[in-house]
Amino acid sequence: MLLSDMNKLWLFFLSTFITYLFIHVWKHRRYYYLGHKIPGAPLLYLKSFFSMEAITRAYIDVFDTTRSNNKLKTMGKVWLGPKLAVVVMDPDLTHELLRHNLQKADFYRFLDETIKNGIFRENLIPKWAHRRRTIGSSAFKLSALKSYVEIFFQESSILANKLAPFAKTHLSFEPVNFMSLASLSMILRATCGVDFKIQQSLR
């Protein structure tokens, strides 16, 4: 009796899920149809549901393959579950999209109550452009950056010295960890005024 009830319960959940999936796909059928037309990874391409590293590597491999095989060389796609991510590779097309079709991603929705009127959630292009110019003109002035040139030079010199032995071997190597440590050290020294000698102490 208990087994029969469990089977009925599983059947109910399964039928509910299938019904919901059908309604969702039918409601957004044009979205999935147009997404299918863009060259890139197929909708159900996923190597592993349990390893984020495997998923990320799979998407990177598919995107690289798509970019090399894409004759248009202008855009590609990657499905992040039911969400379509379109990667634009043409600078002119990117410029036109940012000028006429500014729409923030769903990722920013959780910030609605906190910064609903901030630049991260602003979809009106004139207002967004004005705020961006205001921030850029005040934060990235050459006079403000000059005081950090010495820090950048010192950390870059340390980085170059650490990479020099690899250059002599004429073999390929992975520079990400070295660059990450150098960037972290620059940021801490420039913003907090402290030098933890990260590049010297960590490998």
User: Tens digit of pLDDT for each residue in 134-143?
Assistant: 666 666 667 7
The residue extents of the domains of the chain are 14-101, 104-140, 142-200
Structure tokens at 196: 């933890």
Q: What is the 3-class SS of 113-164, one letter each residue?
A: HHHCCCCCCCCCHHHHHHHHHHHHHHHCCHHHHHCCHHHHHHHHHHHHHHHH
What pLDDT is recorded for position 12?
A: 83
Would you call 110 helix, strand, or coil by DSSP?
Answer: helix
pLDDT, residue 115, reads: 56
**Whether residue 52 has pLDDT greater than 70:** no
The tens digit of pLDDT for each residue in 81-92 reads: 777 777 777 778
At 167, the pLDDT band (50, 70, 90 cuts) reads: confident
- The proportion of the chain whose per-residue pLDDT surpasses 90, expressed as a percent, equals 7
Residues with Cβ < 8 Å from 118, sequence gap 6 or more? 111
Mean pLDDT of the 163-177 span: 85
Q: What is the pLDDT of residue 82?
A: 74
Give the chain's end-to-end CA distance (angstroms, integer).
Answer: 63
